[in-house]
Amino acid sequence: MLLIYSDEFLEHKTGRFHPEKPERLTAIKDAIAASDFADRIEWKLPTSVAERSVLPWVESIHSSNYIQKVAAIAQSGGGYLDTDTAISPRSYDVALLAVSAWLDGVDAVLKKSKPAFVLARPPGHHAESNLGMGFCLFSNAAIAAFYALKQPNVNRVAILDWDVHHGNGTQALVESHSEIAYCSLHEYPCYPGTGKITERGFHNNVLNLPIPPNSDVQLYQQAFEREVIPFLSKFAPDLLIVSAGYDANADDPLATINLQPRDYGLFTEYCLGITSKILFGLEGGYDLSALANSVVATIEKCLA
């Protein structure tokens, strides 16, 4: 299985006590190295930002004023977009490289018709057209979806967001496009307070499934079998992008859902029943052990 990663993703510095920290990636790497399938992983560096010309893809959905703001804060030595969303001197460049990694992932999945995983940061599903928030700078999953639609034989792209927080940015960017479906399972009430079940998108292309606090995998199983799988199967995507956040784990400090790492293996099985063309991209997950073990469970099912 292909994993796209660069040590440059560690250069997005958020501060000593920030939950979205570089150690998230090193914990995942260490867990994969210690796994039984370590020798079945193909590691790939993302295409350089200059070689791919990433900026036009970012500009296709984010306003020029917002992009310039992120760049300016980084160039000035760093700062904050809001109280949660830090920018360090290299964050702008790293965020562009993360976008490039997600686009590489699209290319790889479409070429081989097999899953791939992008281990990149900063995450992206809270980033709106002119606003970064919730640890997110650029909307990686949305950009990847629009990029995929420009590739041969891709007419429909679905995004499944199983992060514990609703992907307000992703939904806002794709809900008016009939070629993209968005499905989110998220704790409610919880940050950012969006993602009501009544929101269906402009083309009945949005499915929000709010999950009550303290829920466990049984409720998720019901949601997948009764709602998620029928919705995605009916849409029949040529590519499935998974905003793979792992903060619904019981040990995660930022939410109150009681999943276990192995449950993400079950979710992965559900996805593989829809299509083998799946791009997983890292979003949240802030307990290092739970995060790493959940990613391992995801990859393990893809290799089964």
The domain segmentation of the chain, as residue ranges, is 2-13+20-303
| pLDDT range class, residue 300, cuts 50, 70, 90 | very high
Burial class (CB in 10 A: 0-12, 13-18, 19+), 51: exposed
> What's the pLDDT tens digit per position in 12-57?
999 999 999 999 999 999 999 999 999 999 999 999 999 999 999 9
pLDDT the model gives residue 297: 98
Q: With 0.95 as the threshold, say if the pTM is over it.
A: yes
Q: Which residues are catalytic?
A: 126
Model pLDDT, residue 9: 98
Q: What is the pLDDT of residues 134-152, one digit of tens each?
A: 999 999 999 999 999 999 9
Going by pLDDT thresholds of 50, 70 and 90, the confidence category of residue 175 is very high
Class for domain 2-13+20-303, per CATH? alpha beta
Average pLDDT estimate for 209-229: 98
pLDDT reported for residue 233: 98
